[in-house]
């Protein structure tokens, strides 16, 4: 990211300033020292949601080191797990002072769709609707439906389990349908293999078993193909992509965000007159950081809250860093090309958009943000 290094430097300097200013307060010094250390560490993502939301299962599926269950302090970004999005979820998200670091996950998504075979596509449609909802869109970067249980099963499917699924799929259709009508029927103690079936139910859920037997019947005849299909259908890949786009690629910005929030906390908890300058600096970084604006706009474009003609929108997303944040990535060209020349042309075009009288206000404001991005690209390219 062009301005990311600058931002990181500014943030580090801001932390040092705060440490000097609060030398006299042991509590503040402690807190800030810890924050300075956290700032240098890798991005930490917290996984939140009510009990039994599926946090542990999802963490299992993601298998990432720096993801923490339950914590919201000391993390840079948040996966918020929920079923149907409730008022309590919205209010949980509302306290975020700089809301550019949250992905809402519709967890246990198979249950959201009543456990029917088409449950996941239904859950994905709900995610899409929520993503475009203006109110929720302002509180998070993305909404993704995931069945964590299915994803874990896909990653850990054993040969014995696979064989059991194949045996089930081989039953006469009616018999299988009757068996899969309910968990009680599936666990009918009068039948053989109850223990094996218990194991299947625990690791796949009724939906997972319905899906697997359907897939096996459709010809997913070997364990690794079935496993990959399960992971794909679970929505885990969508979530990974979203995490990469919104968190990993923006890591320095999210780190800066955490530091800014932390310093603001101290300024608020222990206000003092000589902190005036630091205060102004915190505000300056927030307001002038193009990254924060880019993140918000990117989310708005991707979720459809702001609409631009489709080709223009695609260009905007690329310029804003959707497929990479180097100047070449942003301009969609090879490194060899005359980037500066291209960047100038792009800037001209976007300046025209920004003053297009036909566009609505939200659209011209968006164009202005892209103009700043273009200017920053040119700035990077012309720096010695």
Partner 1 sequence: MTMTALDVIDEALRQPAIGRRRDLTSRLSRLRGRLADPAIRVVVVGGLKQGKSQLVNALLGTSVCPVHDDVASAAPAVIRHADQSWAAVVRPGQQRLEPVEIERVAEEISGGQVVRAEVGVPRAVLSGGLVIVDTPGVDGLRSEHTSRTLAELAEADAVLAVTDSLTELSPAELQFLRFATTICPNVLGVLTKTDMSPRWRSHLERNRMLIAEAGLAIPLVAVSSVLRERALRTSDQNVNAESGFPALVGYLENTVKAQAGLLARRSASEAILAVTEQVSLGLRAELSTQDPSSLAGLEDAQRAAELLRRQSSRWQNMLMDGMADLMSDVDHDLRERTRIILRHTDQAFDKADPAKTWDQFCDWLADKLTDAVLRNYDWTVERTHWLSQRIAEQFDEESRGTLPDLGLRDPARVLERMGGLLTPDLAPPGIANKVITGLRGSYSGMLMFGLLTSLMGMPLVNFVSVGAGAVMGAKTLKEERDAQLKRRQAVAKTAVQRHVDELVFQVGKHSRDALRQVQRRLREHFTEQAEQLQDALSDSIRRARDLANADLVARNQRNQSIAEEINTLVALRQRAQALAITS
Ligand X SMILES: Nc1nc2c(ncn2[C@@H]2O[C@H](COP(=O)(O)OP(=O)(O)O)[C@@H](O)[C@H]2O)c(=O)[nH]1
Residues of this chain that bind ligand X (CB under 6 A):
49, 51-57, 108, 110-111, 114-115, 147-150, 205
Query: Is 64 a residue that touches partner 1 (CB under 8 A)?
Result: no
> Based on the number of CB atoms within 10 Å of its own CB, is 326 exposed (0-12), middle (13-18) or buried (19 or more)?
middle
> Phi and psi (nearest 5°) for 343?
-60, -40
Q: How far is the CB of 116 from ligand X (least distance, A)?
A: 7
Q: CA-CA distance, 234 to 110, in Å (whole number)?
A: 8
Residues 275-334 that bind partner 1 (CB under 8 A): 276, 279
With CB cut-offs between 5 and 8 Å by kind, which of ligand X, Mg ion, partner 1, none does residue 57 bind?
Answer: ligand X
Instruction: Give the N- to C-terminal CA distance of the chain in Å, as an integer.
Output: 17
| Of positions 23, 268, 361, 383, contacts partner 1 by CB under 8 A | 268
Q: How many CB atoms lie within 10 A of CB 241?
A: 12
- Binding flags for Mg ion, 19-58, as an x/- string (CB under 5 A): ------------------------------------xx--
Q: CA-CA distance, 73 to 247, in Å (whole number)?
A: 17
> Considering only CA atoms, which of 240, 290, 184, 243 is closest in space to residue 61?
240
List the beta bridge partners of residue 139: none
With CB cut-offs between 5 and 8 Å by kind, which of ligand X, partner 1, Mg ion, none does residue 252 bind?
Answer: none
Q: How far is the CB of 201 from partner 1 (least distance, A)?
A: 5
- Binding flags for partner 1, 193-232, as an x/- string (CB under 8 A): --------xx--xxx-------------------------
Q: How far is the CB of 148 from partner 1 (least distance, A)?
A: 14
- Binding flags for partner 1, 65-104, as an x/- string (CB under 8 A): ------------------xx-xxx-xx-------------
> Considering only CA atoms, which of 322, 110, 151, 115 is closest in space to residue 236?
151
The 10 Å CB-count burial string (b at 16+, else e) for 200-214 is beebbbbbbbbbbbe
Q: How far is the CB of 128 from ligand X (least distance, A)?
A: 16
> Phi and psi (nearest 5°) for 116?
-70, 165
With CB cut-offs between 5 and 8 Å by kind, which of partner 1, ligand X, Mg ion, none does residue 149 bind?
Answer: ligand X
Report the residue number, 235 or 327, with the smaller CB distance to ligand X. 235
Residues 228-257 that bind partner 1 (CB under 8 A): none
Strands 142-145 and 77-82: unpaired
- Would you say 46 and 70 are in contact if contact means Cβ atoms under 8 Å apart? yes
List the beta bridge partners of residue 142: 103
Full DSSP string of 23-43? TT-HHHHHHHHHHHHHHHSPP
- Packing angle between helix 290-303 and helix 361-382, nearest 10 degrees? 130
Q: How far is the CB of 288 from ligand X (least distance, A)?
A: 39
Report the residue number, 95 or 357, with the smaller CB distance to partner 1. 95
Sole window of 23-31, 71-79, 230-238, 267-275 interacting with partner 1 (rule: CB under 8 A)? 267-275
Report the residue number, 3 or 82, with the smaller CB distance to ligand X. 82
Q: CA-CA distance, 9 to 17, in Å (whole number)?
A: 12
Q: CA-CA distance, 334 to 350, in Å (whole number)?
A: 21
Residues 169-198 that bind partner 1 (CB under 8 A): 181-185, 187
Name the token pair of 252.
């320095």
Consecutive H or E run containing 176: helix 173-179
Radius of gyration of the chain (CA): 25
Report the residue number, 125 or 352, with the smaller CB distance to partner 1. 125
Report the residue number, 241 or 280, with the smaller CB distance to partner 1. 280
Q: Which residues bind partner 1 (CB under 8 A)?
A: 50-52, 83-84, 86-88, 90-91, 108, 111-115, 119, 122-123, 125-126, 129, 181-185, 187, 201-202, 205-207, 268, 271, 273, 276, 279
- Could you list the residues that contact Mg ion (CB under 5 A)? 55-56
């Amino acid at each position: 990211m062009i301005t990311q290094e600058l931002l990181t430097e500014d943030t580090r300097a801001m932390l040092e300033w705060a440490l000097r200013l609060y030398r006299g307060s042991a509590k503040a010094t402690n807190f800030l020292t810890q924050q300075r250390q956290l700032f240098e560490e890798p991005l930490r993502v917290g996984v939140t949601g009510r009990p039994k939301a599926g946090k542990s299962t999802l963490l299992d599926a993601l298998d990432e080191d720096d993801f923490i269950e339950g914590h919201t302090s000391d993390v840079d970004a948040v996966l918020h797990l929920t079923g149907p999005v409730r008022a309590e979820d919205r209010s949980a998200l509302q306290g975020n002072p700089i809301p550019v670091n949250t992905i809402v996950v519709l967890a246990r998504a198979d249950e959201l769709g009543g456990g029917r075979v088409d449950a996941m596509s239904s859950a994905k449609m709900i995610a899409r609707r929520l993503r475009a909802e203006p109110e929720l869109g302002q509180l998070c970067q993305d909404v993704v439906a995931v069945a964590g249980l299915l994803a874990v099963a896909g990653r850990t499917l054993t040969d014995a389990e696979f064989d059991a699924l194949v045996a089930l799929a081989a039953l006469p259709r009616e018999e299988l349908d009757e068996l899969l009508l309910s968990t009680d029927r599936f666990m009918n103690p009068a039948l053989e293999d109850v223990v094996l079936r218990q194991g299947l139910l625990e690791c796949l859920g009724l939906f997972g078993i319905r899906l697997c037997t359907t897939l096996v019947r459709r010809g997913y005849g070997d364990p690794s193909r079935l496993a990959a299909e399960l992971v794909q259908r679970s929505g885990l890949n969508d979530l990974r992509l979203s995490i990469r786009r919104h968190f990993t690629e923006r890591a320095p910005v999210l780190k800066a965000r955490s530091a800014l929030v932390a310093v603001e906390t101290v300024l608020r908890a222990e206000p003092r007159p000589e902190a005036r300058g630091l205060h102004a600096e915190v505000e300056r970084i927030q307001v002038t950081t193009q990254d924060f604006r880019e993140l918000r706009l990117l989310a708005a474009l991707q979720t459809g809250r702001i609409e631009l003609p489709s080709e223009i929108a695609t260009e905007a997303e690329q310029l804003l860093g959707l497929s990479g944040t180097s100047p070449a990535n942003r301009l969609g060209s090879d490194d060899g090309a005359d980037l500066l020349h291209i960047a100038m042309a792009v800037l001209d075009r976007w300046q025209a958009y920004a003053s297009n009288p036909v566009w609505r206000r939200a659209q011209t404001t968006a164009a202005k943000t892209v103009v700043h991005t273009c200017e920053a690209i040119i700035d990077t390219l012309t720096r010695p």
